[in-house]
Amino acid sequence: MSINFRLYKDGDEEQIVEVINSAFTTFREWGLDRDSWLEYDADDYAFDKNMALVAEADGRIVGHIMIVLREFKLGVETYIKFGGIANVSTHPDYRGRGIATKLMTKAVEVCREKSLPLSSLLTGFHGVAHGIYRKIGYTDTIYMSHFWGKRKEIENAYSKIGFDTNVNVREVSRNDIEVLSRVYDLWSRSYNGVCRRPLDYWRKKIIEKSYYHSFFYVSKGIYKIVSTCDSKVTGYAIYGISDETDRRIGIPPHTGGLFELVALDDKSRVTLFKHVLGEFIDKKVKRVVLHLPHSKEYFRLTRHFIEIGEDTVLMDYITNQPLLFNMLTQELQSCLERYGGFNRMKITLASDFGTTTIKVSGCEIEIFGEVSENYIYFEKDSFVRMIYGIEGFSDVLGKKGIVKVRTEDFQGVKELLSILFPRRDFHIWKIDNW
């Protein structure tokens, strides 16, 4: 039997939906159909139906991958467009024939052809798929987790967390779209991993519909509020209660879920959080799931709850290492400017994904292909974590994430790479998952 691998063509959507529903209970229970699949194309700038990959056997679609063209932030201002791998699925009648592996290999090729320097996916760590992705070359970049608590933790946190009487809370309105976008952009400067959200994304996915994940939304049971101080919007929160939604929202019955909370100052962040906890208490939820960043500014909120590791890992594949570093040049130069510049030096950074030479002079950076006298070969997982800021260069060095070093100026190399690759907070909101 011959299997053909190709990109989407008009009319594929019915069979694509059939394959997705055959593979994922979440989509079946949510009620994915042809129309809702096509609506993704209108709701989300990153979803382009023409980037759907299919495996076809005798005219029947038996496998599918969606390449989501999302953009996430690396550094203070730089967004990198990447190929997010989603909904990897094979029809049950055709499993065990290597279809998913071939689809994944094809997806990496498509990302490379489309000048997408990164391919990224989220998958269960203990599943069979994880092993397939590792064999192809994807890294284990970061293991996802959230915060959790029962009624006792909710009430304890509510009693101990104060609020500012100068901060008010109200429901979101359609007129808030632009200011919400600005608040989000200002807040995100401190984080890597957060995804770009055009105004249309805010309008369609958050205001007009209530998405709680890239592919799932509900008509009721999810609430959106903003904080204001001196009549200015200073933050927002998105939360839901599982017993009130018309569709499942990925959390157990009698549970409150906080999907997003962003604020420009601590008093707004705390006031929003206390308001949400108060709603959960009033609605008599038995437990909460908090999808909040693991960062210092949120610790005042999350320290009252238990961190729970999810069976989910972010995996990445660098399809074009020189292209990625060219896209990061401005960000790397900004690191040098904040430091005050650096003496002339060339460093070659090598990994399983390729080789890139960085030439530094003062606050200027150039990217080359040839190998320099200063050469470092990184273990690939550590290399990606360093680029993402999940680990700084000093962390990688301490964890033996370097395979080979060739240099006569190790201290200079160490100092420069510590400047270029500092540790930064990393977070991906559930709404932006792929």
Same-domain pairing of 154 and 295: yes
Q: pLDDT tens, 339-392?
A: 999 999 999 999 999 999 999 999 999 999 899 999 999 999 999 999 999 999
Same domain, 127 and 23: yes
* Same domain flag for 199 and 218: yes
Residue 169 lies in a domain: yes
Give the per-residue pLDDT at 404.
Answer: 97
Same domain assignment for residues 127 and 215:
no
CA Rg value for the chain: 23
For the record, the structure tokens of 55 come out as 């495996």
End of a domain among 117, 137, 157? Answer: 137
Structure tokens at 380: 């690939």
Q: Quick one: pLDDT at residue 102?
A: 98
Beta-bridge partner residues of 358 = 347, 367
Whole-number pLDDT of residue 9: 98
Is 333 found in the same domain as 234?
no
Largest Cα–Cα separation, the chain: 70
Domain of residue 92 covers: 3-137
**CATH at 220:** 3.40.630.30
What global pTM score does this model have? Answer: 0.96
Q: Are 9 and 40 part of one and the same domain?
A: yes
State whether 269 and 196 are in the same domain: yes
User: Is residue 237 located within the same domain as residue 384?
Assistant: no
What was the pLDDT predicted at 163? 85
Task: From residue 390, give the alpha-carbon distance in Å to each of 96, 246, 371.
Answer: 35, 37, 26
- Is 426 within the bounds of a domain? no
37 and 90 housed in the same domain: yes
Sequence length of the chain is 434
Number of domains composing the chain: 3
Closest by CA position to 45, among listed 173, 160, 196, 146 = 196
Distance in angstroms (rounded) separating the CA atoms of residues 365 and 358 = 7
| Structure confidence at residue 180 (pLDDT) | 98
Are 154 and 199 part of one and the same domain? yes
Residue that is last in its domain, among 259, 278, 310? 310
Quote the pLDDT of residue 164.
87
268/157 same-domain check: yes
Q: Which residues of the chain have pLDDT under 70?
A: none
> 15 in a domain, yes or no?
yes
Give the H or E element holding residue 353.
none
What are φ and ψ of residue 144, in 5° steps? -80, 150
